[in-house]
Amino acid sequence: MKTHLLIILLLLPWLVRAQSFTVRGVVRASTDRALLAGASIVEKGTANGAAADAQGRFTLVTTRPTPRLVVSSIGYVTKEAAITRNTDSLVVFLQEDTRALSEVVVTGYAAAPKRSVTGAASVLAGKTSGVMIRGLSSVAAAPRADKKAARNETRVGAGILTAGEINDFSKWKLWPDVAQKDLSEWRQRWQISPLQRYTAQLVTEDGFPVVGATVLLKDSRDSLIWQAVSDNTGKCELWNALFAGAEAPKVAALQAVVDGKIYSVGHPTLFPEGINIVRVKAPCRAPSMVDIAFVVDATGSMGDEIQYLQAELGAVVATVKDSLASSTVNLGSVFYRDAGDEYVTRTSPISATIQQTLDFIRRQQAGGGGDFPEAVDEALAVAVDELAWSPQAKARLLFLILDAPPHENPQVLASLQQSIRKAAAKGIRIIPITASGIDKSTEYLMRSMALATNGTYVFLTDDSGVGDVHIKPTTDKFDVELLNSLLFRLIVQYAYSPDCQPPKAKALSNQHHPAPDTAKVTASAPRRGKGYAWKCYPNPTPDILHVELEGGITELFVTDVTGKIVLREAPAHNKATIQLGSFPTGIYFLTFYTGKKWEKAKFLVSR
């Protein structure tokens, strides 16, 4: 099972985050140039497809750089279009079909015998073809072009919503600029500023990560500044002066509490100066429990998102359970609205009886609301305080799905701060998923909450064609993924941990060569003639990784399985020797920027 899970983790960049190519275009009639709403666009030879919206526009995400598209519409001759490059301006003209229309029409991604049309979206009454999405078995329906279409006549399915992720821990050099410049006006509004970051890495004497240990940041008076819990990689994030309004205390010590014993680091360093390594005299332990909660805004504007969540979640959870077969997966949920609505919060407790929570989620409907802010603070308080999070879990994940911020008043801010503190102290990662409707103020708050609790930030995108316009986040770049694939990837990344047995090299690749003169150049490494070349060895390594480069690479990064940067190295004379002796056994990635794209190689630290 350990080998099976390692293989899953190592294949994730290809399975659920393979390089994607986006084709955008418009479908028109060739005679009068009329826009063809509801036209079907399918990648030839696959079930991957999209439907044109009310303006004839479509967006198709594919893993092929030069796909061939099959474009069809009712009353027009089907046409194939060859794509030779990534394009935002494809125009497809369809000839009118002079033959009589049959009873069979093409809508969305498949043919069906009958149809019903609601608004600008065609909805099949028959059965659509199955669509396999990166390991998730799902049935896809055509995205809706008109968000106002009658809900009881609209079919939704899994594998439709698209999303992106910004892990600000993996972009830490960029985050201070974003927080202090681009989004600086919102820092004072929400009174939160995750900048003074202290990272701790807990490792046993045998070289394994210490999971689930309490870690404290103390000032010179031995007063508590911040409390966190070491995650599945043995790391935790602690913050000084996170909340505005008080003078930043002087950090004096970092303390890890393991089996009742305190391990202390005097005068710990801020993250830019390094990670604080804490060696612990304790046996390796491999927790097996994973707690997951979905906290969902259920006000009226969230109708689309709730319906798609109901369609997505069952397949995601089932795939997670299959991939984490040796783990116990528990699921809970909180739905919330606002004061004066039918209810403020509704809860399904965290439980191993997953179907109970799935049934609870499927019974929920959107309603109420009316103003922009909602009762986010009350929902977080219920989720953090009242859900039974297991102290023994190796991962505690709180997905916060919303399209509006909390109210702005001193009571709400105090409640938010308290919930963030408690979540960090319990080891609960807050992972916001923002929908259409949020603004930059909400984006800043959600990204700050994610950082404060060792989480990451997820946002829906326009690529699915579902819902209203989604704002793009303030960052350098991001990848678009299917939401169900992204959820699966995050859960597995945050739940993976070694099982107290050194991982085997064969789990990495059957092309492994440990010696420098036969060092493997990974499959993702560029070949000569592209302007750069590189290799790293030995793999696996107990402590030192040698890197050889050509092409003027100036900076190397080592990241862990969750995407966090753990080391930064500047090559000298096209070579680098990276010391990894302080880090625990596990999977790591060597990454660098070529000037055009990021390259990545997997390697194992094993002792």
Residue 52 has a pLDDT of 76
3-state secondary structure of 67: coil
Q: What is the mean pLDDT of residues 197-212?
A: 95
Q: Say if residue 163's pLDDT is above 70.
A: yes
User: Do 506-605 and 165-169+287-454+482-495 fall under one CATH topology?
Assistant: no
The packing angle between helices 483-495 and 303-323, to 10°, is: 40
Whether the CB-CB separation of 295 and 399 falls below 8 Å is answered with yes
Whether the CB-CB separation of 560 and 497 falls below 8 Å is answered with no
Omega of the bond prior to 540 within 30 degrees of 0, cis? yes
Q: Average pLDDT over the chain, rounded to whole?
A: 81
Omega of the bond prior to 209 within 30 degrees of 0, cis? no
d(CA 538, CA 105): 58
More confident of the two residues 202 and 184: 202
pLDDT grade for 380, boundaries at 50, 70 and 90: very high
End-to-end alpha-carbon separation of the chain, Å?
20
> Residue 533's beta-bridge partner residues?
550
**How many CB atoms are closer than 10 A to CB 161?**
28
d(CA 297, CA 157): 20
Tokens for 396, please give them.
């505690």
Q: What is the mean pLDDT of residues 510-525?
A: 31
Q: Which residue has the tokens 């030192």?
A: 544
Listed by start position, the domains of the chain span 13-144, 165-169+287-454+482-495, 195-280, 506-605
Q: What is the mean pLDDT of residues 488-497?
A: 93
Class of the domain covering 506-605: mainly beta
How far is CA 486 from its chain centroid? Answer: 5
Tokens for 179, please give them.
């927080």
Instruction: Name the strand (E) or helix (H) holding 271.
Output: none
Q: Say if residue 156's pLDDT is above 90.
A: no
Residue 145 has a pLDDT of 32
Segment 238-263, tens digit of pLDDT: 999 999 776 789 999 999 999 999 99
Segment 279-304, tens digit of pLDDT: 999 999 989 999 999 999 999 889 88
Residue 558 has a pLDDT of 94
Whether the CB-CB separation of 163 and 461 falls below 8 Å is answered with yes
Percentage of the chain surpassing pLDDT 70? 79
Strand pairing report for 49-51 and 79-82: unpaired
Q: Say if residue 519's pLDDT is above 70.
A: no
Task: Choose the CATH number for 165-169+287-454+482-495 among 3.40.50.410, 3.30.70.580, 1.20.120.80, 3.30.470.20.
Answer: 3.40.50.410
Q: What is the mean pLDDT of residues 170-187?
A: 89
Least confident of 218-232, 255-269, 395-409, 587-601: 587-601
CA torsion through residues 387, 388, 389, 393, sign? negative
Residue 337 has a pLDDT of 95
pLDDT grade for 573, boundaries at 50, 70 and 90: confident
Angle at alpha carbon of residue 113, lines to 28 and 131, rounded to 5°: 75
d(CA 566, CA 579): 11
CATH of domain 195-280: 2.60.40.1120
Residue 41 has a pLDDT of 86
Least confident of 247-256, 469-478, 509-518, 576-585: 509-518
Segment 17-57, tens digit of pLDDT: 446 678 888 888 877 677 787 778 888 877 677 777 766 77
Whether the CB-CB separation of 407 and 147 falls below 8 Å is answered with no
3-state secondary structure of 129: coil
In the sheet that holds 40-43, the strands lie side by side as 49-51, 40-43, 68-72, 79-82
pLDDT grade for 389, boundaries at 50, 70 and 90: very high
Residue 550 has a pLDDT of 81
Tokens for 75, please give them.
């009353």
Q: Say if residue 369's pLDDT is above 80.
A: no
Class of the domain covering 13-144: mainly beta
Segment 438-471, tens digit of pLDDT: 999 999 999 999 999 999 999 999 988 887 889 9
- Quote the pTM value: 0.71
Residue type, 586: G
d(CA 604, CA 607): 10
Residue 113 has a pLDDT of 33
3-state secondary structure of 607: coil
Q: What is the mean pLDDT of residues 231-237?
A: 96
Counts of helices then strands in the chain (DSSP H, E): 9, 35
